[in-house]
Amino acid sequence: MIARRLSLTDFRNYEELELDLEPGASLFLGSNGHGKTNLVEALSFLSTLGSHRTSSDLPLIRHGKAAAIIRAQLANGERTVLAEVEINREGSNRARINRSPIKVRDLPRSFASVLFAPEDLTLVRGEPAGRRSFLDHLLGLRNPRMLAVLADYDRVLRQRNSLLKTARASRISSSQLGTLDIWDARLVEFGAQIITARAELTQELLPFVAQAYGTVAGAEHEVSLAATLSIYATKEGMNGSADSASTGPVDDDFAAAVRMNRRAELERGVTLVGPHRDDLVITLNQLPARSYASHGEAWSLALSLKLASAELLRVNSPLGDPVLILDDVFAELDSSRRGKLSTAIAGFEQVLITAAVLADVPDNLRERVIHIRAGKVVAPDE
């Protein structure tokens, strides 16, 4: 799929922007701090409802304004849709498809993009939460039903935690215990679906990651991905691997873990087991990459995870090729890796690239250059 036209109102440093986009590669070029990342961040937000730079939506709204609007005309083969999100300083965000209101969380069903940025390094180096959201975002793109399951799990988790907190403050009553049993069942129902879906996704993703790593790093290395699941955690607090600890169907094991942890959860006032506490362990040549990989290896692994997710979506998402967004990626790579990456992405329907220095970007991606200055698209010599 491609984005054909992007309109912004009061998004970051853009007061108003109307920009036609083409298939193939486009390069956004401009000096530091002029709005290149802001522009691609807007498109990425429309497809993921998140930003690679901020976890809060507020910085996305132009300073001093009440709301930001991102609107894009999207084309998937013959089908086109107008997707729009309004990010509000006060009150909740709103979304529209073809000018009709929809639930904000359903917006990603209309637009798939994969963004590569230096921040992706945290996928390899950072906390488990980043890896979980990488997987969950992909789950939602591949199977929109999972968006609802993830949202349900989140809701149950919050309510269960708040019950555990109250129970911790005052001694738990028998009616609260009954309510907790109900929340336990819901937690297991939704959580088991997430654990299973993540495991299937990880299996599917692995060959793509291994292939992408081969492409980017250009050598023989062994990459593997494995889940560590908190429902199989040992008493020492270590997370267990699904393969070694599984004794039965995931929902039975999950329910057993919840029973086993009840006393500890009542003492601590939080839910201790479930997919919100799981991790994806990435190993390179048998060593956990998070703590062993070199900077270059970690960065290549992060790129490979992103490339793999793009390839996977390309193969089996109803939206076809995701739009690839490469924010400041080439400046981080040596020239051999630049070349390899540019070959790997060249076949995607639309690739949007930002760079401050033209020379950092391989020749084959420089055909269409869009110059950005102070929150505006300008002519090359302006």
Ligand X SMILES: Nc1ncnc2c1ncn2[C@@H]1O[C@H](COP(=O)(O)OP(=O)(O)OP(=O)(O)O)[C@@H](O)[C@H]1O
Q: Kindly indicate which of the ranges 57-65, 104-112, 148-156, 363-371 contains the residues binding ligand X, using the contact rule CB under 6 A.
A: 57-65
Q: Kindly indicate which of the ranges 28-36, 149-157, 300-308, 343-351 contains the residues binding ligand X, using the contact rule CB under 6 A.
A: 28-36
Q: Kindly indicate which of the ranges 59-67, 98-106, 135-143, 146-154 contains the residues binding ligand X, using the contact rule CB under 6 A.
A: 59-67
Instruction: Give me 37's structure tokens.
Output: 């990342």
Q: Kindly indicate which of the ranges 36-44, 102-110, 166-174, 290-298 contains the residues binding ligand X, using the contact rule CB under 6 A.
A: 36-44
- Taking CB under 6 A as the criterion, which residues in 316-345 touch ligand X? 328
Q: How far is CA 41 from CA 48, 116, 136, 267, 345, in A?
A: 10, 11, 20, 42, 19
Residue 34 binding ligand X, by CB under 6 A:
yes
Quick one: which of 50, 122, 137 has its CA closest to 312? Answer: 137
Contacting residue, 8, 21, 27, 35, with ligand X by CB under 6 A: 35
8 A C-beta contact, residue 146 and residue 139: yes
Element (H, E) at 86: strand 79-88
8 A C-beta contact, residue 340 and residue 218: yes
Residue 37 or 76: the one with the smaller Cβ distance to Mg ion is 37
Residue 12 binding ligand X, by CB under 6 A:
yes
Residue 359 binding ligand X, by CB under 6 A:
no
In whole angstroms, the minimum distance from the beta carbon of 11 to Mg ion comes to 15
C-alpha span between 327 and 312 (Å, rounded)? 21
Q: Kindly indicate which of the ranges 55-63, 98-106, 185-193, 271-279 contains the residues binding ligand X, using the contact rule CB under 6 A.
A: 55-63
In whole angstroms, the minimum distance from the beta carbon of 33 to ligand X comes to 4
C-alpha span between 114 and 125 (Å, rounded)? 19
Instruction: Give me 47's structure tokens.
Output: 């497809």
In whole angstroms, the minimum distance from the beta carbon of 329 to ligand X comes to 11
C-alpha span between 54 and 51 (Å, rounded)? 6
Contacting residue, 37, 48, 51, 110, with ligand X by CB under 6 A: 37
Instruction: Give me 185's structure tokens.
Output: 């069942």
Number of residues this chain uses to bind ligand X (CB under 6 A): 17
Residue 282 or 352: the one with the smaller Cβ distance to ligand X is 352
63 binds, among ligand X, Mg ion, none (CB under 5 to 8 A by kind): ligand X
Please enumerate in sequence order all residues whose Cβ is within 8 A of that of 43, keeping only pairs 6 or more positions apart, or say none.
3, 6, 70, 72, 113, 323, 325, 352
Helix, strand, coil shares, percent, the chain, to 5: 50, 25, 25
Residue 52 binding ligand X, by CB under 6 A:
no
Binding site for Mg ion (CB under 5 A): 37
